[in-house]
Amino acid sequence: MSKRQYKRLENKLKRKYKRQEGDMIATLRKSDPKKYYKLFQKKRAKTSDVSLPEFFEHFRNLVTNDGINVTVDTPESVSDATYDELDR
């Protein structure tokens, strides 16, 4: 199978899958509205019991245990970087 044939097959299967998903969502809208709207609910942020310094220490220890000498800034020394270019 050539690369071109493979790409055509891949695109065909993707279109078929997306069409089936669309049909399933349309059917679900009429048959079970509760499940339909549940698909579109926003995901809630998961909370964590790990503090930022513990998180930082864990990954710093991973890096230093590998024998890699890397200068690592502490979380307090890193400023909250904002990039105006990305907000445009």
In a domain, 55, yes or no: no
Contacts of 84 (CB under 8 A, 6+ apart): none
Mind listing the pLDDT tens digit for each residue in 17-32? 999 999 999 999 999 9
In a domain, 83, yes or no: no
Q: What is the pLDDT of residue 81?
A: 63
In a domain, 86, yes or no: no
The pTM score is 0.42
Degrees (nearest 5) of the Cα angle 11, 20, 1?
25
34 to 18, 19, 21, 23: CA distances (angstroms):
22, 22, 17, 17
Mind listing the pLDDT tens digit for each residue in 36-52? 888 888 777 777 788 88
In a domain, 35, yes or no: yes
Number of folded domains in the chain? 1
Domain that holds residue 9: 1-40
